């Protein structure tokens, strides 16, 4: 039987992905290779602060990871988020940039 903590973690991931902009960010990470905030600003038309706030929620929920290189932070979708996005968009995970 699965532990309650696992259900809670998965529910948090689903909640994070239930916002249209956050889902767009994750899908963009997987399909466009756009991995920093500046690129996401351009793709979504949202401000840096808006994108950053949503990325922090995605990171807290385990949908993305972040890696700092110099002054830039690069984001990647997690495999679990990729599988969910693939199911939602009826795409193959293998076509994604992970």
Q: Using DSSP, state whether 13 is helix, strand or coil.
A: helix
Predicted confidence band of residue 1 (pLDDT cuts 50, 70, 90): confident
pLDDT value for 73: 95
Query: d(Cα 54, Cα 62) in Å, to the nearest integer?
Result: 12
Q: Pick from 15, 85, 21: which is nearest to 54 by CA?
A: 21
pLDDT tens digits for range 6-33: 999 999 999 999 999 999 999 999 999 8
Percent of the chain with pLDDT over 70: 100
Pick the CATH number of 4-95 from 3.30.70.100, 1.10.3720.10, 1.10.10.10, 3.40.718.10: 1.10.10.10
Euclidean distance between CA atoms 2 and 63, whole angstroms: 20
In the chain, where are the structural domains located?
4-95
Quote the mean pLDDT of the chain.
Answer: 95
pLDDT of residue 98: 80
Question: What percent of the chain clears pLDDT 90, i.e. is strictly above it?
Answer: 94
Map 25-74 to HEC letters.
HHHHHHHCCCCEHHHHHHHHCCCHHHHHHHHHHHHHCCCEEEEEECCEEE
Furthest CA-CA distance within the chain: 45
Reported as a single tens digit per residue, the pLDDT across 73-87 is 999 999 999 999 999
């Amino acid at each position: 039987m699965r532990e309650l903590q696992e259900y809670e973690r998965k529910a948090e991931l689903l909640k994070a992905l239930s916002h249209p902009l956050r889902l767009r960010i994750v899908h963009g990470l997987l399909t466009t290779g756009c991995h920093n905030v500046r690129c996401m600003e351009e793709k979504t038309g949202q401000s840096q602060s808006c994108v950053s706030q949503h990325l922090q929620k995605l990171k807290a929920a385990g949908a993305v990871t972040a890696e700092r290189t110099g002054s830039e932070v690069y984001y990647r979708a997690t495999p679990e988020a990729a599988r969910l996005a693939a199911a939602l968009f009826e795409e193959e995970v293998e076509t994604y940039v992970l």
